[in-house]
């Protein structure tokens, strides 16, 4: 499997730029997992951490679900791997497979894209229990860009430790 990653535009409207950068970072995470077996995707970074590439995919599925579906769309949906809402649990991908994790993550990404597309503007707000106040769709998109960028840095190190692949 080879992931296509389109570079974000250098100019454009705010919504177009946010959407493009978020999709760029989503594709980056998928690229870091390309060509690896389930076993390689489950390899942990370093004890006692349970962090793995597959764990990052599972974690980001929960993050997408939390911010777009639960916060912005106000859906009362259960967590996939984090019954108590502790997304760190999702990092432990022991016994998980690429198929399971990527199916859940890609489904959440599609929900997120739909919610963003259907929102009247980036100024749409919804209550966020985590911060105890309303947040805008703009903040959610910026937060996810930040979350992906941070975890893609982790993915860089994880991938390099597995097979030496670095960059992009």
Q: What is the pLDDT of residue 57?
A: 97
The whole-chain average pLDDT of the chain stands at 92
Quote the tokens at residue 113: 């894209």
**Full set of structural domains in the chain with CATH:** 14-163 (1.20.120.450)
Query: Over pLDDT 90: what percentage of the chain?
Result: 74
Q: pLDDT category, 162, cuts 50, 70, 90?
A: very high
Q: What is the pLDDT of residue 1?
A: 61
Q: What is the pLDDT of residues 100-134, one digit of tens each?
A: 999 999 999 999 999 999 999 999 999 888 888 99
Q: What is the pLDDT of residue 50?
A: 85
Q: What is the 3-state secondary structure (H, E, C) of the chain?
A: CCCCCCCCCCCCCHHHHHHHHHHHHHHHHHHHHCCCCHHHHCCCCCCCCCCCHHHHHHHHHHHHHHHHHHHHCCCCCCCCCCCCCCHHHHHCCCCCCHHHHHHHHHHHHHHHHHHHHHCCCCCCEEEECCCCEEEEHHHHHHHHHHHHHHHHHHHHHHHHHHHCCCCC
Using the predicted structure, report yes or no on whether residue 160 has a pLDDT greater than 90.
yes
Using the predicted structure, report yes or no on whether residue 168 has a pLDDT greater than 70.
no
Q: What is the pLDDT of residues 69-91, one digit of tens each?
A: 999 999 999 988 887 777 777 77
Q: How far apart are CA 4 and CA 54, in angstroms?
A: 19
């Amino acid at each position: 499997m080879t992931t296509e990653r389109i570079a974000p535009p250098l100019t454009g409207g705010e919504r177009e730029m946010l959407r493009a950068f978020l999709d760029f970072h989503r594709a980056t995470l998928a690229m870091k997992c390309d060509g690896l077996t389930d076993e390689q995707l489950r390899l942990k970074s370093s004890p006692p951490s349970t962090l793995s590439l597959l764990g990052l995919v599972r974690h980001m599925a929960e993050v997408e679900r939390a911010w777009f579906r639960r916060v912005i769309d106000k859906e009362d949906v259960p967590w996939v791997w984090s019954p108590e809402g502790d997304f760190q649990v999702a990092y432990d991908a022991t016994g998980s497979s690429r198929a399971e994790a990527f199916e859940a993550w890609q489904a959440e990404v599609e929900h997120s894209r739909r919610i963003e597309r259907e929102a009247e503007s980036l100024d749409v707000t919804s209550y966020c229990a985590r911060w105890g106040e309303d947040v805008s769709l703009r903040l959610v998109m910026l937060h996810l860009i930040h979350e992906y960028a941070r975890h893609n840095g982790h993915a860089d190190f994880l991938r390099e430790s597995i097979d030496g692949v670095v960059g992009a």
